[in-house]
Amino acid sequence: MATGADWGQAVVVDPAHLAGLVAERARLAASRGRLRAVAATLAVVTTVLGGVAWWQTDHIRNLGRRVREQQRTIASSRAALTTIAKSHDHVLAATREAPTIGTRSWGRRFKVTRYVPRSPAYGRFNDGFTATMKKADPAARIVAVDPMLIPYGSWVWIEDLGWYRAEDCGSAIKGYRLDVLTATEKESTEWGRRERFVIVVPPDGRAPEAPMNEASAAGTTQSERDS
């Protein structure tokens, strides 16, 4: 029978070491709390940065679209400037052909169409003669005008087409409209309606002063057509 406690298997813990372990555990717990806070902060920052990145990407896409639009605008402007320069060259060429231009003549942009002689579309006015009783011959380079604006007998220069003589009129040819006599329906249809710069050289060297809103007094002729 044992007479006292058996201390052979006893573990002796130094109180100071135990206190150190407790302190270490406290430090680890505090570190874990700080790490959790840092992780949460990083998550927020990541979300914010993701939003900023998305905004920047969208902004870059918008800038790219604007750049492309500006490029198209620049290309259109260049084309327009090229056309203007071409028109200017044509006008200069026309002035060399007619010395009176720039003194007693005038010019501006017109809507230009084409018509053919003896077209069934003209009905009872299909007589083959113009308003000035000239034969409606395309080779004669005849143009229908509003005689209240351009007197008969005027020389009319049309950009890309050249010189014509104002010898006809039409019910739809009012104001800044011209109708060029051409040989075939195919030429008339393919031309359609275009805008061209026009120079007018009146027979007396002066542009007419009749009001633009008055109807033409010359009647309806070979170039009559509906608007």
User: What is the number of structural domains in the chain?
Assistant: 2
Establish how many alpha carbons lie within 13 A of residue 166's alpha carbon, considering only the half-sphere containing its beta carbon: 26
> Among the three residues 28, 62, 97, which one is the final residue of a domain in this structure?
97
Confirm if 224 and 171 have CB atoms less than 8 A apart.
yes
- What's the pLDDT score for residue 33? 76
Q: Alpha carbon of 49 to those of 37, 39, 46, 56, 125: distances in Å?
A: 18, 15, 5, 10, 79
- What's the pLDDT score for residue 158? 94
Q: Alpha carbon of 124 to those of 53, 80, 144, 188: distances in Å?
A: 75, 43, 18, 21
CATH of the domain at 178: 2.40.40.10
Query: How far apart are the C-alpha atoms of 40 and 59, rounded to whole Å?
Result: 28
> Among the three residues 39, 67, 97, which one is the final residue of a domain in this structure?
97
Query: How far apart are the C-alpha atoms of 121 and 98, rounded to whole Å?
Result: 36
Query: How far apart are the C-alpha atoms of 115 and 124, rounded to whole Å?
Result: 16
One digit per residue, the tens of pLDDT, for the chain of length 227 reads: 455 555 556 556 567 766 777 777 777 777 777 778 877 887 887 887 777 777 778 778 777 777 777 777 777 666 666 666 566 566 655 555 554 444 568 888 999 999 988 665 554 555 678 888 888 888 999 999 999 999 999 999 999 999 999 999 988 899 999 999 998 889 999 999 999 999 998 886 544 443 333 333 334 444 444 44
| Structural domain includes residue 188 | yes
In this structure, the answer to whether residues 92 and 107 fall within a common structural domain is no
In this structure, the answer to whether residues 191 and 120 fall within a common structural domain is yes
| Structural domain includes residue 212 | no
In this structure, the answer to whether residues 48 and 65 fall within a common structural domain is yes
User: Which of 156, 150, 208 lies closest to 181, judged by CA?
Assistant: 156
| Structural domain includes residue 163 | yes
In this structure, the answer to whether residues 196 and 112 fall within a common structural domain is yes
| Structural domain includes residue 33 | yes
- What's the pLDDT score for residue 198? 92
Residue with tokens 């040819």: 173
In this structure, the answer to whether residues 108 and 195 fall within a common structural domain is yes
In this structure, the answer to whether residues 118 and 193 fall within a common structural domain is yes
Domain carrying residue 143: 103-201
Number of Cβ within a 10 Å radius of residue 116: 20
pTM over 0.75: no
Query: How far apart are the C-alpha atoms of 117 and 136, rounded to whole Å?
Result: 6
| Structural domain includes residue 182 | yes
User: What type of residue sits at position 128?
Assistant: G
| Structural domain includes residue 154 | yes
> Among the three residues 34, 66, 97, which one is the final residue of a domain in this structure?
97
| Structural domain includes residue 208 | no
- What's the pLDDT score for residue 67? 77
